[in-house]
Amino acid sequence: MKVSVVKNILEANDRIAQENRAIFDEKDLLVFNLMSSPGAGKTSLLEKTIDALKEDLKIGVIEGDIQSSQDAERIAEKGIPVVQINTGGACHLDGNMIRDTFKEFDFDALDLLVVENVGNLVCPAEFKVGEDFKAMILSVTEGEDKPAKYPLMFHESKVLLINKIDLLPYVDCSVEKIKEETLKINPGMTIFEISCKTGEGLDAWYNWVREEVKTRRSARKQ
């Protein structure tokens, strides 16, 4: 019975996510779902990315947290549209939650919409929200064992950002081991080694996002 209930929940969510995706397609909007454990650096990465790209791209953000609006307030200081979703205990965002924010955005005025999911390495990987792809952050402080422990997150993501590499001299973590284990799970994964603190590796990420937006537009025109 439990398996059946979970299956029904996921199937219902997938239908809503497909409806969301149809709207994003109609508006020619690239959407990615940013996931990580708490403290890995999602909001810091978003702040850096907005600063680097806001002259080239019109960006909107949906912030997901169990409680508080701290992250949304940080993003709002960048002068871009942002909506906070408080899940009230749920460990992930779902398609219906995302759909409820649509009235707050002018999608015709956006090129890129980023969904910052609730900090969790399990549930967000299971629920589609209508995104083009999932992206995940793993900080080196979390250790090299996470791909083996949380394989679904790594399997479902298109891109992995290994953050806080400036701390490598102080932690027992092998980036090469993370990459090796990740590529066993998802051979097509694009991987960036970055530091939101120092800026190392971020230019490659910014350029990748620009290309994804360009590719999205080109595909729409065909």
Whether the predicted pLDDT of 39 surpasses 70: yes
What tokens appear for 31 in the block? 């959407």
CA angle, 186 then 92 then 131, to 5°: 55
Q: How many CB atoms are located within 10 Å of the residue 200 CB?
A: 13
Residue ranges of domains in the chain: 2-221
Q: State residue 1's pLDDT score.
A: 43
Contact (CB, 8 A) for 31 and 115: yes
pTM higher than 0.85: yes
Q: For residue range 152-169, what is the model confidence (pLDDT) as tens digits? A: 999 999 999 999 999 999
User: Where residue 222 falls among pLDDT bands split at 50, 70, 90?
Assistant: low
Spell out the CATH class of 2-221. Answer: alpha beta
Contact (CB, 8 A) for 189 and 157: yes
Residue 32, strand partner residues: 114, 133
Whether the predicted pLDDT of 113 surpasses 90: yes
User: What are the distances in angstroms from CA 122 to CA 106, 107, 147?
Assistant: 31, 29, 12
Pairing of strands 59-65, 157-163: unpaired
Q: For residue range 40-80, what is the model confidence (pLDDT) as tens digits? A: 999 999 999 999 999 999 999 999 998 888 999 999 999 99
User: What are the distances in angstroms from CA 47 to CA 133, 144, 162?
Assistant: 20, 26, 17
